[in-house]
Amino acid sequence: MTTAETVLVPARVTAVAARATPRRRQGFQHGGWFVAPFLLLFALFVIWPLLRGVYLSLTDANITGTGESFIGLGNYREALKDPLMWDALGHSAYFTLLVVPCITVLAFLLAMLAHHIERGKWLWRLCFFAPFLLPSTVAGNLWQWLFNPGTGMVNHLSGVDTPWLTDPSYAMPAIVIETLWWTVGFSFLLYLAALQSIPGHLYEAAKLDGANAWHRMLHITLPMLRQITGLVVALQILASLQVFDQAVVMMDFGPGPENATRTFVQYTLEEGFTSYRVGYASAISIIFFVIVASVALGRMWLLRDRTEEAGR
């Protein structure tokens, strides 16, 4: 190859690259068309209903959609003074405080059992995860029959005639038990996947150093599962605050004995579709949205600070 050809070859390569660069940039610019369908659906089914709900919360709209007038913050002032709304919020918070710690610990223990058991791993994993695949109505009706005072298996096996679904003191714990059995499979699956991702050489090194099973779990397993535990807790808090299906089905679509199981979501639906006060229901739903969003953002902020401290 002559000196002239040596000079021309890089020049040709540079020219080709120069012609290709605008096309690549143009392709990246048009990449927005790939996400356009998602953005359209997101705006149609999330952004628009949210904006519509904010508007309705400022009116006295009814379920017929006629005769609505702008009343400003009147619905919000009424909601803040509504004892039934605060009772419903307290029931949802009480349910969350019972479910989240129990389901986190139970999911971790079941994942540890399924991870370390030698025989029939697939059967154990199927048994732990299978209830999560059931529809909420099926799970609710099943446990409604199990808690039946006369023919239920729970009282029959325990030998105690406990009024699970008719006593305000037992109604919410009954829903909590049903929720644990029904939804623990999802958190169990997250923990199981995280356990399988822990490098085995960490346990081997700990064994060589004389660490027993308790020390290995305390100093290796739990620290390695810190992030997945934060995820499980956050997801369970958000899901538990929005509890509705199991409470309504187990209580025959009512608020339970002495309104002990009326949750915030159920109260919102009652105001909107039973009392026909769509404007007021929109206002309390916006309040609930702010509460749930604040909890989610607070959890993300705490998790970010812990991650930054761990990185330091």
pLDDT at 4: 45
pLDDT at 85: 95
pLDDT at 296: 84
Rounded Cα–Cα distance for residues 170 and 146 (Å): 14
**Are the C-beta atoms of residues 73 and 58 closer than 8 Å to each other?**
yes
pLDDT at 7: 45
Rounded Cα–Cα distance for residues 113 and 210 (Å): 23
Is residue 9's pLDDT more than 60? no
- What is the rounded average pLDDT for all residues in the chain? 86
User: Other C-beta atoms within 10 Å of 270: how many?
Assistant: 16
Rounded Cα–Cα distance for residues 242 and 292 (Å): 9
Nearest to 192 by CA among 84, 107, 91, 311: 107
Is residue 12's pLDDT more than 70? no
pLDDT band at 8 (very low <50, low <70, confident <90, very high): very low
Nearest to 254 by CA among 274, 278, 234: 274
Pick from 24-33, 68-77, 189-198: least confident: 24-33
Q: Is 59 helix (H, G, I), strand (E, B) or coil?
A: strand
Pick from 48-52, 71-75, 151-155, 300-304: least confident: 300-304
CA distance to 86, 185, 227, 285, per residue, from 81 (Å): 9, 39, 39, 15
Is residue 20's pLDDT more than 70? no
Pick from 14-28, 32-46, 158-172: least confident: 14-28
Q: Is 91 helix (H, G, I), strand (E, B) or coil?
A: helix
CB-count exposure of residue 279 (10 Å: 0-12, 13-18, 19+): buried
- Scanning the structure block, which residue is given the tokens 């290796």? 220
Q: What is the pLDDT averaged over residues 159-181?
A: 92
**Are the C-beta atoms of residues 243 and 179 closer than 8 Å to each other?**
yes
Is residue 94's pLDDT more than 50? yes
Rounded Cα–Cα distance for residues 246 and 92 (Å): 12
Is residue 292's pLDDT more than 50? yes
Rounded Cα–Cα distance for residues 22 and 35 (Å): 22
User: Other C-beta atoms within 10 Å of 79: how many?
Assistant: 22
pLDDT at 240: 94
Q: What is the pLDDT averaged over residues 28-43?
A: 80
User: Other C-beta atoms within 10 Å of 114: how many?
Assistant: 23
pLDDT digits (tens, 9 = 90+) for 228-260: 998 999 999 999 999 999 999 999 989 999 999
DSSP string for residues in 169-200? HHHHHHHHHHHHHHHHHHHHHHHHHHHHTS-H
- Scanning the structure block, which residue is given the tokens 């509504």? 82
Kindly provide the b/e burial profile for residues 236-266, where b requires at least 16 CB atoms within 10 angstroms of the residue's own CB. bbebbbebebbbbbbbeeebbbebbbbbbbb
pLDDT digits (tens, 9 = 90+) for 202-234: 999 999 888 898 999 999 999 999 989 989 999
User: Other C-beta atoms within 10 Å of 233: how many?
Assistant: 17
The percent of residues in the chain predicted with pLDDT above 70, rounded, is 87
Is residue 35's pLDDT more than 80? yes
Rounded Cα–Cα distance for residues 165 and 157 (Å): 17
**Which contacts of 237-240 are long-range, i.e. CB under 8 A and separated by 24 or more positions?**
237/96, 237/100, 237/295, 237/299, 238/292, 238/295, 238/296, 239/183, 240/92, 240/95, 240/96, 240/99, 240/100, 240/179
Query: Terminus-to-terminus CA distance in the chain, angstroms?
Result: 56
pTM above 0.95, yes or no: no
pLDDT band at 121 (very low <50, low <70, confident <90, very high): confident
Rounded Cα–Cα distance for residues 300 and 304 (Å): 6
Domains and CATH numbers, the chain: 82-276 (1.10.3720.10)
DSSP string for residues in 99-146? HHHHHHHHHHHHHHHHHH--S-HHHHHHHHHGGGGS-HHHHHHHHHHH
